[in-house]
Amino acid sequence: MNDDKHIIVTDSAEIMRLSARDKLINNWINVFWGVLLYFAIVSFAECIIMTFYSGTLVISSEGESIDLPLLTIIYGLLVCGPMALGRADFFINFSRNGHAEQGRIVSGFRDYLKSVGLYVVKTLLIYWPMMIVLVCAFSYILVYATVDNVGKIIIYNHLFFVLIMIVILVAFVVSIVFVVYSELKYSMAYLIMADDRSKSIFKCLSESNELMDHHKGKLFSLMMSFIGWLIAALVPLIALVFFVSTIFPNGSHQMISLPLAITVMIGSIPFMLLTEYGYTTLVGFYEKLRAGRSGTETIEK
């Protein structure tokens, strides 16, 4: 069977980015305020939490411990789903009507349980192989590679140690490939839910899978076309973080110092601009998929 008839989006990445820029003309600032609100509630709030609270996880009876952003993880679990739904609603409305209604960024909280449920289910479907690999690797290190035993393992059982490390590394690489594939497969779930809030969690995931059939490579190439902009956004952030961290080092009970947290917020401005550019492009991709799939279904009927 010829798969070409299933291809709906044929525009190049350059054309889709150009279409997004056309929509953003005279709207960059208005859209920016919505993106800023999103970053403030999600990313900036997490930075502040890590500044004032550092979670501790004890990993041995001797009191060895590592710092984990436990409160940040809980906060992210509570707000990332609704904010992702609100972001989708905000950009869909902007793409179709040309108006940036900043209040839509938090509209996902109207369907709080459903948006959180989609976030949890989607995360598990995408990251379960990586979670298994990381748990196995962490368990191995915890049980065998303690400070007292690591020297003995490497010296007396070095072949076993090397083999285990190779297996973990290969499994991790495979899990990364799976994560990328699954991210593409379920990339439209929040856009679908924002379009129709009555749809269930699994209906949104199923429709995303159907929409992305034969289009994962297209979306991947579209995402890769933003690599240059991503690097350009990273450079000032890394430079600022390096400069400030040398002047204001973290305290003994801090995961991130307050000056560094403020620096991350300021340094994220290029990422905000990239977010409005990239997400406007993504919504354009979604609209083409949606319109093309509807046309195909009409013809088949």
Chain segment 27-38, per-residue pLDDT in tens = 999 999 999 999
Helices 70-97/269-300 angle, 10° precision: 60
Helices 269-300 and 13-24, interaxial angle, to 10°? 110
Helices (H), the chain: 13-24, 28-39, 45-52, 70-97, 112-144, 150-156, 158-185, 189-195, 201-211, 216-224, 227-247, 258-267, 269-300
132: left (phi over 0), alpha (psi -120 to 50) or beta: alpha
Q: How confident is the model at residue 145 (pLDDT cuts 50, 70, 90)?
A: low
Question: Residue 286 CA to chain centroid, in angstroms?
Answer: 17
Residue 200 CA to residue 56 CA, distance in Å, equals: 37
User: Looking at the predicted structure, is the pLDDT value of residue 39 above 70?
Assistant: yes
Residue 254 has pLDDT above 80, yes or no: no
- pLDDT over threshold 60, residue 147: no
Q: Residue 262 and residue 267: Cα distance in Å, rounded?
A: 9
Yes or no: say if 201 and 114 are a contact pair by the CB < 8 Å rule. yes
Mean pLDDT of 241-266: 77
Residue-wise pLDDT for 152-163, tens only, equals 555 455 677 778
Looking at residue 273, its pLDDT comes to 96
Report how far residue 247's alpha carbon sits from residue 3's, in angstroms, rounded to the nearest whole number. Answer: 58
- Of all residues in the chain, what percent carry a pLDDT higher than 90? 60
pLDDT at 300: 44
Contact call for residues 108 and 115 (beta carbons, < 8 A): yes
Residue 64 has pLDDT above 70, yes or no: no
What mean pLDDT is reported for the chain?
85
Q: What local confidence, expressed as pLDDT, does residue 261 receive?
A: 83
The SS3 of residue 69 is coil
d(CA 241, CA 234): 10
pLDDT of residue 298: 37
Contact call for residues 241 and 260 (beta carbons, < 8 A): yes
Alpha carbon distance 280, 295 (integer Å): 23
Q: Would you say residue 253 has pLDDT above 90?
A: no
pLDDT band at 61 (very low <50, low <70, confident <90, very high): very low
pLDDT at 260: 83
Q: Residue 292: pLDDT band by 50, 70, 90 thresholds?
A: confident
CA-to-CA distance for 300 and 259, rounded, in angstroms? 60
**Single-letter amino acid, residue 250:** N
- CB under 8 A, 24+ apart: contacts of 224-233: 225/13, 225/14, 225/17, 226/274, 226/277, 226/278, 226/281, 229/274, 229/277, 229/278, 230/274, 232/270, 233/270, 233/271, 233/273, 233/274
What is the C-alpha to C-alpha distance for residues 239 and 234, in angstroms, rounded to an integer? Answer: 8
Q: How confident is the model at residue 58 (pLDDT cuts 50, 70, 90)?
A: very low
Asked whether the whole model's pTM tops 0.75, one would answer yes
d(CA 165, CA 27): 51
Q: pLDDT for 174-223, tens place per residue?
A: 999 999 999 999 999 999 999 999 999 999 999 999 999 989 999 999 99
pLDDT of residue 301: 39
